[in-house]
Structure 1
Amino acid sequence: MALITISGYPCSGKSRRAAQLKTHFEKLLEDASYTGPKLKVTVLSDDSLNIDRSAYDSSRSEKPARGALFTAMQREMGQDTILIVDSLNNIKGFRYQMYCAGRELKLRMCTVYVVAPPETCKNWNEERQDGRKYAPETLDNLIMRYEEPSSMVRWDSPLFTVTWEDEDVPASEIWKAVTEGIVKPPNVGTQSVPKAPTDALHVLESVTTQMVSAIMSAQSMNPSVGGPVTLTLSPILKPRLVLPARNVTLSELQRLKRQFVTVHKKAMVIGTTEKGQVEFGEEGVADKFVQYLEENFRP
């Protein structure tokens, strides 16, 4: 349904804003005037995943922490969930990765940028009594490396900014974005590629070889040149082909067959061809080969 990315400095009040959003959304979903689909609101955070603040002390431990967050996010995303990811989300490359995952599932998305001055964050970190305090040098390093969200890039927009002085989040605007916003189609690069069956290559070779033999047989049995012919490959598979107004030689057919097979071997790897989806079945291969031959028979 929706993915909301919370981003900001460490100890800038992100968890407070995530909790405010969750409360507002649950009230809206329970309101009698709400007539939309049944949804749940889930907050995913370092704390809910038991990721200790010390994980950010070094890049060696930070990387697996982000990986754990991303894996958990993928598990929670769905059409029945408004997922709020409450973490640093401080690297734009990671936010882009989250964005791509959301697009693949056709989720509506937005980013909430929680703003607080560095000194305020440091003071709030020192005042923490819950055992979730950052080491001072870690906090300084994270603030220095922070990459701010921008409404100019697609993976951060729509972007909502909440400052440390704001009493509440713009819940109604964010609600509208995640329930009425545009659902962007998946990137081509994020779509799963259909895998060819294990016998696809055998079918490709077998059907095209049978068709070449059937064409040569049809020409020898019918002295008239050109016109439509029906090639009987099996009791069920009988493709129809229009031959040119000339005699087609075996060498020409074998050359066209090799070209067709070479192109479709590559297409089996990438899943698509320039002119549409790859056909793996006997009927599909026969139809595609007929089209290929007729295009190449034209003067």
Structure 2
Amino acid sequence: MAFITISGYPSSGKSKRAEQIKAALEQRLQDPSYTGPKLKVSILSDDTLNLDRAVYDSSRSEKPARGALFTAMQRQMGQDTILIIDSLNYIKGFRYQMYCAGRELRLRMCTVYVVTPPDICKKWNAEREDGKSYAPETFDNLIMRFEEPSSMVRWDSPLFTVLWTDEDIPGDDIWKSVTEGIVKPPNVGTQAVPKAPTDALHALENTTTLIVSSIMSEQSASQGLGGPTTLNLTNTLNPRIILPSRNLTLSELQRSKRQFVSIHKKAMTLGTTEKGTVDFSEESIVDKFVKYLEENLRP
């Protein structure tokens, strides 16, 4: 359904805002006037994953921690869930990665930027008694590396800013964003790319060779008259092809075959998102190669 990215300095009050958002959304979902789909609101955070704040002390420990957060996020994303990601989310590349994952699942998205001055964050961090404070050096490093969300980029939009002095969050705007916001369709950059089967090249070579041989045989029998011709490849494969009214040479057909195979090798290696499928069945190869020959053989 949707997910909300919380971003802000360490110890800026992000978890408090995440709880406020969760409460505001659940209140609207339970309202008798709400007639939409049944949804649940969940918060995913470093705490729910039991990630100690010490993981941010070095890039060596932070990278797998971000990976664990991203994996858990993918597991919990769904059409029946509004997921709130309560973490630092201070790297714009990571926010973009989450955006791509949400777009692939056709989810609505928004970002909530919790704005608190660094000196207040530092004070709150030092006063924490729950064992969830950051080491002073780590805290300063995270402040320095923080990449501020921007409403100008698509992966942070729509962006809602909540100041440390605000008593509440913009609940109405967030609700509208996650229930009525634009659902962006997956694009080539976010779609999973299907690959051809392992025997695709073998099938491609054998089938095109069989067609070339069949054309040469039919041409010899018809004295090169051309026109609509049925190729008897197998008991079940008997495609019709319109041949030019001239004698086709074996070298000419072989050249067309090599060009056709070369074109389709790229699809085998890279895959394709055309109609969401890659079809290298014998029937599909026959159909494609026959059409290719009809379009490319000189009259």
TM-score normalized with structure 2 length = 0.95
Q: In the alignment, is the contact (CA less than 8 A) between 2:13 and 2:164 conserved in 1?
A: yes
Matched, 1:72 2:72: yes
Matched, 1:282 2:282: yes
Mean CA deviation greater in 33-42 or 17-26: 33-42
Which runs of structure 2 are paired with 1:178-197 in the superposition (5 Å)?
178-197=178-197
Q: In the alignment, is the contact (CA less than 8 A) between 1:112 and 1:160 conserved in 2?
A: yes
Aligned counterpart, 1:210: 210
Residues 183 and 202 of structure 1: CA distance in aligned 2, closer, same or farther (over 3 Å): same
Distance in 2 (CA, whole Å) between partners of 1:278 and 1:229 is: 28
Mean CA deviation greater in 112-121 or 133-142: 133-142
Which runs of structure 2 are paired with 1:129-278 in the superposition (5 Å)?
129-223=129-223, 225-272=225-272, 278=278
Distance in 1 (CA, whole Å) between partners of 2:26 and 2:18 is: 12
Q: CA deviation at 1:47?
A: 0.8
Q: CA deviation at 1:108?
A: 0.8
**Deviations along 1:172-223, whole A, 9 cap, x unmatched?**
1111111111111223122112121232222211211111111111111112
Q: How many residues align?
A: 299
Q: CA deviation at 1:286?
A: 0.5
> Aligned letter for 2:245?
A
Q: In the alignment, is the contact (CA less than 8 A) between 1:264 and 1:278 conserved in 2?
A: no
Mean CA deviation greater in 156-165 or 99-108: 99-108
Matched, 1:60 2:60: yes
Mean CA deviation greater in 83-92 or 250-259: 250-259
Q: CA deviation at 1:146?
A: 0.7
Aligned counterpart, 2:37: 37
Matched, 1:117 2:117: yes
**Deviations along 1:118-168, whole A, 9 cap, x unmatched?**
111111112212111111222111111111000001110000000001111
Aligned counterpart, 1:82: 82
> Aligned letter for 1:27?
Q
Distance in 2 (CA, whole Å) between partners of 1:278 and 1:30 is: 45
Distance in 1 (CA, whole Å) between partners of 2:201 and 2:231 is: 21
> Aligned letter for 2:229?
V
Q: CA deviation at 1:278?
A: 4.4
**Deviations along 1:13-54, whole A, 9 cap, x unmatched?**
100110011111111111121111111111000111111111
> Aligned letter for 1:199?
D
Distance in 1 (CA, whole Å) between partners of 2:295 and 2:278 is: 18
Distance in 2 (CA, whole Å) between partners of 1:224 and 1:259 is: 23
> Aligned letter for 1:297?
L
Residues 275 and 169 of structure 1: CA distance in aligned 2, closer, same or farther (over 3 Å): closer
Long gaps (5+) in structure 1: none
**Deviations along 1:54-77, whole A, 9 cap, x unmatched?**
111122222121111111111111
Q: In the alignment, is the contact (CA less than 8 A) between 2:224 and 2:247 conserved in 1?
A: no
Distance in 1 (CA, whole Å) between partners of 2:83 and 2:298 is: 57
Aligned counterpart, 2:95: 95
Mean CA deviation greater in 198-207 or 169-178: 198-207
Q: CA deviation at 1:266?
A: 2.0
Q: CA deviation at 1:170?
A: 0.7
C-alpha RMSD of matched pairs (Å):
1.7
**Deviations along 1:212-262, whole A, 9 cap, x unmatched?**
111111111112522111111122211111101211111111111111112
Distance in 2 (CA, whole Å) between partners of 1:224 and 1:145 is: 74
Q: In the alignment, is the contact (CA less than 8 A) between 2:194 and 2:278 conserved in 1?
A: no
Aligned counterpart, 2:27: 27
Long gaps (5+) in structure 2: none
Mean CA deviation greater in 42-51 or 260-269: 260-269
Mean CA deviation greater in 274-283 or 262-271: 274-283
Q: CA deviation at 1:8?
A: 0.3
Residues 98 and 274 of structure 1: CA distance in aligned 2, closer, same or farther (over 3 Å): closer
Q: In the alignment, is the contact (CA less than 8 A) between 1:92 and 1:149 conserved in 2?
A: yes
